[in-house]
Amino acid sequence: MKCHHPSRPWAAIGLLALTVLLSACSNEAPAASGSPAPPSATGTSSPAQTPMAALALLEEAAKAAENISNYAYTLHLSQDLSGGAAEASHLQVDNEGKVERSPLRIDQTVTSEMDGEKSSLRAILEPGAYYVYDPDLTEWGKLAKDQADQVAETLSDYQTNPAQALREIAKLGGGLSLTRQGEHDVLRYEGSGPEAEAFLKRVLEGTLDLGSLDEQVRNSVDVKSLTVIVTLDDAKRLPVAYSIASEMTIEYEAGKPSKLLQTLSGTYDKADAISPIVVPEAAKQAPELDAPIDDPAADDGNLGSIDDLEDPTVLNP
């Protein structure tokens, strides 16, 4: 089984290529989630409308999201794992940032806590470049262009492409319902059928690095419950908030299912109204982190990898 470094959740760069580092190794396993309250709208709720109305509104919202050029977002991931062959583990990741869509540029701050160990990182992505800042060391570093391009590919649609994220939610199909709460339209899904499993496995590609695990582990995922809530602004038809809460089992060792709770949630704000993303001059002049990110043995005699930002002797010899 492929083993990922469990102690540096900020070393991975994408959404939560951040959490792939929790993927299991022998009897170790990834983290899973405690569930914060899902986003909700205030006001009186109207009776639920048909799934067809929900699907039509989701597509309308996706088209509206395609037309915005920039926005601010928050993203929260919480995972809790217990039982079976896995050691009990808790992970929480909070990601706050802003996005310019064309060309893609993102300025994000990530804070994480895994089993009591906390870390933080600021990162800026622009075409062909990725800059990282460790607030403890007050130092910038940057990735080589090919690594920066790889980072761009790992970013979640929930960060950089809300329209596509909404279309993924639409694949839940007939299980979706639509209600109105105050000035918001609220779409909801609750279930555990084949559509829930297919949807959740796509989410787990980003939050659990599911594709890197052994086939028998991937196939062992058994969805017990999935609740998806999407809140839309009634006037602009843009997404305001979402919550994807799930309970499942996964077998890192055959016949020994572990319980995995996960919540992925977030918000969108300031459509076409963020301040421009600016790369600090210190970041542009920073030394290049050009060794493989996830190869602890890689060392070119300089900064090595992004993981080395954790070692003050690397940046301050």
Report the C-alpha gap between 270 and 278 in whole angstroms: 17
Q: In tens digits, what is the pLDDT along the chain, a chain of 317 residues?
A: 223 323 323 233 344 433 333 333 333 444 444 433 444 444 555 656 778 999 999 999 999 999 999 999 999 999 999 999 888 999 999 999 999 999 999 999 999 998 888 999 999 999 999 999 988 878 999 998 888 888 888 888 999 999 999 999 999 999 999 999 888 999 999 999 999 999 999 999 888 888 888 999 999 999 999 999 999 998 999 999 999 999 999 999 999 999 999 999 999 999 999 999 999 999 999 998 754 444 444 333 333 333 433 333 222 22
Cis peptide before 47 (omega within 30 of 0): no
Residue 127: other Cβ atoms inside 10 A: 11
pLDDT at residue 135, rounded to an integer: 84
Q: Where are the domains of the chain?
A: 20-307
pLDDT at residue 46, rounded to an integer: 61
Q: With contact defined as beta carbons under 8 Å apart, do 147 and 160 qualify?
A: no
Report the C-alpha gap between 302 and 141 in whole angstroms: 12
Architecture of domain 20-307: Clam (2.50)
Which H helix or E strand runs over 10?
none
The beta strands (E) that lie in the chain are given as: 70-82, 89-100, 105-114, 117-126, 129-134, 139-143, 176-181, 184-191, 222-233, 239-253, 256-269, 288-289
Q: With contact defined as beta carbons under 8 Å apart, do 141 and 287 qualify?
A: yes
Residue written as tokens 């701050």?
109
Q: With contact defined as beta carbons under 8 Å apart, do 128 and 273 qualify?
A: no
SS3 of residue 282 by DSSP: helix
Report the C-alpha gap between 298 and 39 in whole angstroms: 43
**Which of these, 96, 43, 46, lies nearest to 71 by C-alpha position?**
96
Q: Which DSSP string corresponds to 136-151? A: TTTEEEEE-HHHHHHH
What's this model's pTM, rounded to 2 decimal places?
A: 0.79
Identify the bridge partners of residue 265 per DSSP, sorted by sequence position: 76, 243
